Structure 1
Amino acid sequence: MTSHVFDRPLFVRRKHFIQEICCLDDIVDFLEEWPEKKRGAAHVVMLRACRDAVVGQFPLSAVRKNFERFLKKNDMLASIEEFPFRQQSAGDHNIGDV
């Protein structure tokens, strides 16, 4: 089975959170949730590219790059700096505590 996981994730700026897109299935889920009234040629082409990538007829790297462009066009591409990571050291928690 061929892996459909990207080398590095993309981050999508949603209304109340940042969504991580790390594989082909994540893109398909995102596109299927896209509002019908906003769907256009780019949406159709992206879905077709995803389906072609599943069967090995389109490069996964090209799907990722085109989805990145799709997000930029819709002002939804987030940078890693926007992703809310919490720094935690080993001293912040006790191992084995219930």
Structure 2
Amino acid sequence: MNPQDFSSAFFVKRGTNAVQEVAGLADAIDFLSEWPEDRRDVIHEPALRVCCEAHDKQKAVSVARNAFLGFAKRAGILKNVACAQQRPAWVAAACRCRLGRFCQVSA
């Protein structure tokens, strides 16, 4: 296990047709960095800062996970793991690219 991985991964809604697994700091930082500026609120910046500080070993990874989780809950994008793993036909599947980016593939 990578020391920058979260103790347990979770899934967040990404756009209209995709669900993304967030398994560690790199995933969280990428997701927060790509979050639309017009949807950023008071919790976005602190969540991104804490994730970056954990990446630089200034904060614990668990603190960053909790910060990202708080952001996801407030943004209403946290998804149930069981639902995300089932990948219903009406949800487009997403594949993880090497850099943590997602591309759409047919379900």
TM score, norm. by length of structure 2? 0.71
Q: Deviations over 1:49-84 (max 9, x none)?
A: 012111211111011112111111111000111113
Q: Distance in 2 between matches of 1:59 and 1:85?
A: 32
Q: Which residue of 1 aligns with 2:48?
A: 47
- The amino acid of 2:45's aligned partner reads V
Q: Which has the larger radius of gyration?
A: 1
Please tell me whether the aligned partners of residues 4 and 24 of structure 2 are also in contact (alpha carbons under 8 angstroms).
yes
The residue that corresponds to 2:10 in the other structure is 10
Alignment gaps of 5+ in structure 2: 88-107
Percent of residue pairs bearing the same amino acid type: 34
What are the residue-to-residue correspondences of 1:1-98 with 2, within 5 Å? 3-14=3-14, 15-85=16-86
In structure 1, the residue matched to 2:95 is: none
Q: Over aligned residue pairs, what C-alpha RMSD do you find?
A: 1.7
TM-score with structure 1 length normalisation?
0.77
Greater per-residue helix proportion = 1
Shift of 1:41: 2.6
The structure carrying a bigger strand percent of its residues is: 2
2:25 aligned partner, one-letter code:
L
Instruction: List 4+ stretches of structure 1 deviating above 6 A.
Output: none
The CA distance in 2 between the partners of 1:30 and 1:76, in whole Å, is 12
Q: Structure 1 unaligned segments of length 5 or more: list them.
A: 87-98
Kindly tell me the number of residue pairs found equivalent between the two proteins: 85
